[in-house]
Amino acid sequence: MIFTKMNGLGNDFIIVYGETELPVNAAELAVKWCNRYFGIGADGLVYILPSDRADFRMRIINSDGTEAEQCGNAIRCVAKYLYDYGYTNRSEITIETLGAGAQKVSLLFEGDAVERVRVDMGEPILEGLKIPTTVNLSPVLDHPIEVEGREFRFTAVSMGNPHCVIYVDDAVHFDLSLWGPKLESHPLFPKKINVEFATVHSRDHVDMRVWERGAGPTMACGTGACATLVASVLNGNTGRSAVISLNGGDLFIEWIEEDNHVYMTGSAEMVYEGLLAD
């Protein structure tokens, strides 16, 4: 099986095209191939499949074998892959996701090359029970959560997958490995959750670091950046557009008032391609 290794700001994926459905052993394959010592190494395994409701469909299996409903970095990689490999010649396509439906994707060029990808990530979900959390509020804003005697305050947002955004003094040096897994599996989050630690520098710039559900600390998280912008607007910390700086680079996020949709713009890069052996 031919694969392509790609990354969006260091959040890396094994991209596979040509299957008609998700393989029954996709979880097992993801654990095997995403292993950074005995496999290819990646945060997730992504299958590009046919769709009845969009131009293409993607399914994302995390490195631990669980399935993600959506991934902002993966969808940018998929869009660039489809254009670069000649599966589409259009600059605007739709890609179906498990958790957020069919999303509109725009390819932005420098010369003939896809330089960046802008994705309509849809409307954020702010109702606590639908995110899901066990908190019956809408929005779940600056809500307390206690872990091992320490209290954090979080804002919950779903961008097709669940996020809790926590503001800290120094997100860049925050101990992700200590607090991320404890918060991910907290009883307040029945399907677990992606955890973003954020520091606001100005009305249009936020530092964010992420502990991803099913993958652990990653270099970037597109849906997490979107959730961070939405949470920052709701908390009065930023305007409706901002640069979200992640470990792997910057994403430009907009929450447009007219349609209530969140838009994400960022890069995607091919690393290499190869052949998977049985």
Percent of the chain with pLDDT over 90: 98
Are 70 and 225 in contact, with CB atoms under 8 Å apart?
Answer: no
Under 8 Å between Cβ of 225 and 200:
no
The residues near 102 (Cβ < 8 Å, ≥ 6 apart) are 51, 53, 54, 94, 95, 96
Residues 216-231: what's their mean pLDDT?
Answer: 97
Helix, strand, coil percent content, the chain, rounded in steps of 5: 15, 40, 40
pLDDT at 278 over 80: no
Summarize pLDDT for 1-12 with one digit per residue, the tens: 899 999 999 999
Bridge partners, residue 207, by sequence: 199, 245
- Across the range 196-210, mean pLDDT stands at 98
Active site residues: 71, 221
For residues 154 and 276, which has the higher predicted lDDT (pLDDT)? 154
pLDDT computed for residue 276 by the predictor: 82
- When pLDDT is averaged across residues 168-189 and rounded to a whole number, the result is 97
| Tens digit of each residue's pLDDT (9 = 90 or more) over 247-273 | 999 999 999 999 999 999 999 999 999
Q: Using one digit for the tens of pLDDT, what is the confidence trace for 27-83? A: 999 999 999 999 999 999 999 999 999 999 999 999 999 999 999 999 999 999 999
How many Cβ atoms are within 10 Å of 125's Cβ, its own excluded?
22
pLDDT value at position 150? 96
pLDDT tens-digit map of 99-142 = 989 999 999 999 999 999 999 999 999 999 999 999 999 999 99
pLDDT value at position 65?
A: 97
Q: Rounded distance, CA 211 to CA 208, Å?
A: 10
